[in-house]
Amino acid sequence: MTALAQREAAQARFAAETERYRRELLAHCYRMVGSAHDAEDLVQETYLRAWRAYSGFDGRAAIRSWLYKIATNVCLTALASKRIRVLPSGLGGPHEGPEQPARPLAPGEVSWLEPLPDGWITAAGDDPAAVVVTRESVRLALIASLQHLPARQRAILILREVLAFSATETAQILGTTVAAVKSGLQRARARLSELDPASEILLAPTDDRARALLDAYIAAFEHSDAGLLERVLRADATLEATPFRQWRAGRTRCIGLLEAYVLGSPGDWRLLPTTANGQPAAVIYRRGADGVLRADGIVVLAATAEGVSRVVAFHDPTLVTLFGFGDAPDSRSVVTGV
């Protein structure tokens, strides 16, 4: 066998053994770094390093654990030189003063959390129970809280509690001791409880109630209907949007801001349904002064049985392409509500 044939055979074996883990490694990197763009790059780096080391892989560890060791260390290296990614609610309490136009923070002033397309980490043929677990492990509130943990504590918590690696396996992945893993997990749990003490039960994006709430939210924006928004949001709902520092708590304040500065006139907005972070979401287009609809970003809803408890909008046009949509909306009819 020629050297080229040997290389091609090795590449085929490598792909056969490793490609089935790509989606879960992408979810892992996203949990670690809070950015879909960065997670995609880190998975690519993981596979590049794994291929370079593949000839020396002796099979003493399961290939899945071996890949997670590489991916985790790739993430830890990347995190060492970057600021944590946050949502506006991670920068301080809600805005309590009089309503006024918000000033967007300058690019680079804050590193913002990004949403994750569900299609990146789940497939149509996946086991339904596994899909539920994956959705719950990438909920936006959880990802936001994870970013406030020290990077190694974050890795320990994810490896132990999300991926169910044993303390011994986690120690091997991180190159540390079992005692250090147990101690780090205890501290991570305590800190996470402080950050997100009362995790609520969210409806799956496939739930009819969640779909109805998303449809109504879309209709409210497309028809500039503050009254419909009032029926969609819970009384204690919160509203935040990047790249703005100020955020709102309470339905009255949320609708007051939207009605004063955001909703505009019917037809100013076009929203197309999607899913992100295991939650109902929509791609956002906004009509400019020239009458043209342009990509604006993504909005993610926390849908509960009582209504939408949290709205997070990411005003970043590049996310529209990331979610697989075009620069302008297609010809599908406007959602008219529920």
Name which of 304, 279, 284 is nearest 294 in CA terms. 284
- Give the pLDDT confidence score for residue 336 in this predicted structure: 30
**CATH number assigned to the domain comprising residue 288:** 3.10.450.50
CB 244 within 8 A of CB 102: yes
Final residue before a domain boundary, out of 50, 82, 114: 82
Residue 39 Cα distances to 64, 128, 281, angstroms: 18, 24, 20
In a domain, 337, yes or no: no
CB 310 within 8 A of CB 254: no
Interatomic CA distance for residues 97 and 42, integer angstroms = 41
Domain that holds residue 41: 1-82
Q: Higher-confidence residue: 289 or 315?
A: 315
* CB-based contacts of 78, cutoff 8 Å, min separation 6: 33, 38, 42
- Calculate mean pLDDT across residues 77-94: 93
Between CA 45 and CA 80, with CA 158 as vertex, the angle to 5 degrees is 50
- Calculate mean pLDDT across residues 44-70: 90
Q: Higher-confidence residue: 2 or 230?
A: 230
pLDDT at 60 over 80: no
pLDDT at 333 over 60: no
- Give the pLDDT confidence score for residue 197 in this predicted structure: 65
- Calculate mean pLDDT across residues 25-30: 97
In a domain, 201, yes or no: no
Token output for 146 = 């994870």
pLDDT tier at 102 (50, 70, 90 boundaries)? confident
CB 306 within 8 A of CB 319: no
Token output for 135 = 């959705």
**CATH number assigned to the domain comprising residue 72:** 1.10.1740.10
pLDDT tier at 296 (50, 70, 90 boundaries)? very high
Interatomic CA distance for residues 103 and 189, integer angstroms = 35
- How much is the pTM? 0.92
- Calculate mean pLDDT across residues 204-214: 97
Number of folded domains that form the chain? 2
pLDDT tens for residues 228-241? Answer: 999 999 999 999 99
Interatomic CA distance for residues 49 and 70, integer angstroms = 7
Torsion of CA 182, 184, 190, 193, to 10 degrees: -100
